[in-house]
Amino acid sequence: MGKVTVPIPPDGPGEVRVAVRGGSESCAAWSAVATDRGARVLVVDSPSARSVLVEALPS
């Protein structure tokens, strides 16, 4: 799980903060739908070490 720190537009990347190895890291994030800053998201794939595909969790 993570939290959106830079809004994710439907046509490009935003940014999320995710828990990794006891700390947290920022990653470029893509989503099928626009996702607002502060939204909680679920990481569904990681195409590279610093990018993730996410889905918004219900608020």
Residue 26: what pLDDT?
Answer: 97
Q: Which residue has the tokens 């947290």?
A: 24
Q: Which two tokens stand for residue 33?
A: 């739908």
Q: Which residues of the chain have pLDDT under 50?
A: none
| Residue 31 near residue 11, CB atoms below 8 Å | no
This prediction's pTM: 0.90
What is the CATH code of the structural domain delimited by 2-56? 2.40.50.140
What's the CA gap between 58 and 46, in Å, rounded? 21
Beta bridge partners of 4: 16
The residues near 42 (Cβ < 8 Å, ≥ 6 apart) are 1, 2, 54, 55, 56, 57
